[in-house]
Chain A
């Protein structure tokens, strides 16, 4: 079984719709991250959480919100989706070694 899972894997939605992307992990890590990846732009950090009560904005948090329901679960919401939020979204947990993170399989989101 995968250590970091994401649902859904693919989603097509329309402008203005609210969307939730879910992430679960079985690695027992406290720190979790949401990134988006766009061609030519690399990975950009949306939100991160050090534990259930500690949630922080990343570099591109506008238009997004998150919820850390438990140590193992970290959800990303798009309150009102817009086309430039079309991207590949990754959830990750931070490992115990320096600069190690474990990524989920990604969610490909298309906003029409």
Chain B
């Protein structure tokens, strides 16, 4: 998996849009960008995945510029329940084990 860099923490308020950016300068041609969310004492949960441009689902949007060296996870109108750690992973899934490597992630704190 390619190395990724994310902010360690972010604060927001309820109702705001939150954008979390992940840098992955050495992303390879076959790599996909995948985001997970983890609440305290729960397992990571797949949120969204993309390869280029923009992807949107019921939870979030993922923006990927043309050079693919970064990506931005956008959470619209966050609520207190969106307080969690968000992980960015980059890879092509070709490792022998399929093991996922989670970095430190970004701890998002949503305040009332």
Contacts and interface: CB of A to CB of B under 8 A. Distances in A.
Interface of A: 4, 31, 33, 42-43, 45, 48, 56, 58, 88, 90, 92, 94-95, 97-106, 108
Given A92-B43, A108-B41, A100 B99 contact: no
A101 B97 contact: no
B32 A99 contact: yes
Interface residues of B, number: 22
A90 B102 contact: no
Chain A interface mostly helix, strand, loop or mixed?
Answer: strand
A31 to B, nearest CB: 6
Contacts, number: 62
B18 to A, nearest CB: 22
Contacts of A92: 43
Contacts of A4: 43
A88 B103 CA distance: 17
A96 to B, nearest CB: 10
A103 B43 contact: yes
